[in-house]
Amino acid sequence: MGCDIHIVIERREKGSAEWVGVWSSDCAPEGRPRIARRDYAFFAEVAQVRGEGTQPRIYPRDVPKDVSRLAWLQYMRSPTDHHSASHMTVQEFTDAWFRANSFRPEGKDGPRKEFAASDLLGIWDDDDNDFRVVFWFDN
């Protein structure tokens, strides 16, 4: 039986308390991006799912109390099947992907660390908003 990751990107205007879901890997018309494909080394890094990971255990953190409506609705589609829910900054999430995929070349055919948010998640630097990643797994 395989395990998949479900990702929701949330945005919050600086100074606001409300997070808004802006993208879900489950609703992506172009299909699952590279960072949302089955990758057990990455799953181990972000939540110790299907492995130990290389960093000290700090995840999973659970669904955040101030989760966006989009993330909550996606999560509640199958709450008995979903597990290891967590959230982290875009930087933490993309850093974990690079740790798990250090064998992949950067550049021409792969994501670049300096542009990780845009290459892996489609997020561009934005001085007016904060972004975070909410995610969970299924079996």
Give the C-alpha separation, 86 to 65, whole Å: 11
* Neighbouring residues of 56: CB distance < 8 A, sequence distance ≥ 6: none
- For residue 27, the model assigns a pLDDT of 86
Residue 106 banded pLDDT, cuts 50, 70, 90? low
- For residue 29, the model assigns a pLDDT of 76
> Torsion-angle region of residue 50: left (phi > 0), alpha (psi -120 to 50) or beta?
left
Residue 86: strand pairing partners: 135
Bigger pLDDT: 71 vs 57: 71
Average pLDDT over residues 83-90: 91
Residue 46 banded pLDDT, cuts 50, 70, 90? confident
- Model pTM above 0.85: yes
Closest-CA residue to 73 (of 27, 11, 130, 131): 27
